[in-house]
């Protein structure tokens, strides 16, 4: 006969996401590589560069410029993504915004920041 043991009630603990944005890059030569970038670091970098380059909003979306995408590509290379092109940077810029919104929607109990403010301007 099995003996049942009771476990103490465990308080509700928020489920946290690891924050990794995983993506695959297919090069013209046919090579495919996998990369992992921290979502929050990428999103904050995008926002800093949007402000630095004075990007304007049109129809509810930020409009990129060549200078912004070249700068973003260089910053993404600093995350370890080799040979990041402006086209790759543009795709990652869009992905960072979409994935951050998905993350906010998925988390049932998003922890508050110590200051009580959101980490990203779009709230």
Strand partners, 24: 34
pLDDT in the model for residue 106:
76
pLDDT in the model for residue 102:
87
**What is the rounded distance in angstroms from the CA atom of residue 25 to the CA atom of residue 10?**
42
**What is the rounded distance in angstroms from the CA atom of residue 98 to the CA atom of residue 26?**
21
**What is the rounded distance in angstroms from the CA atom of residue 103 to the CA atom of residue 56?**
25
Residue extents of the structural domains in the chain: 37-103
pLDDT in the model for residue 96:
94
Pairing of strands 56-58, 32-38: unpaired
- What is the pTM for the complete model shown? 0.74
Q: What DSSP letter does each residue of 45-60 carry, written as one string? A: HHHHHHHHTT-EEETT
Query: pLDDT tens string for the chain (123 positions)?
Result: 556 666 666 667 666 778 899 999 998 888 999 999 999 999 999 999 999 999 999 998 889 999 999 999 999 999 999 999 999 999 999 999 999 988 888 765 555 655 555 555 454
């Amino acid at each position: 006969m099995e003996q049942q043991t009771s476990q103490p009630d465990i308080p509700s603990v928020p489920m946290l996401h690891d924050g990794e944005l995983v993506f695959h890059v297919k090069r013209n030569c046919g090579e495919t590589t996998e990369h992992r970038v921290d979502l929050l670091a990428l999103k904050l970098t995008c926002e800093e560069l949007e402000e630095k380059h004075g990007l304007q909003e049109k129809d509810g979306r930020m409009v990129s410029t060549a200078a912004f995408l070249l700068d973003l590509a260089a910053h993404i290379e600093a995350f370890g993504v080799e040979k990041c092109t402006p086209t790759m940077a543009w795709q990652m810029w869009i992905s960072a915004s979409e994935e951050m919104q998905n993350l906010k929607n998925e988390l049932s109990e998003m922890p508050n920041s110590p200051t009580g403010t959101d980490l990203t301007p779009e709230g």
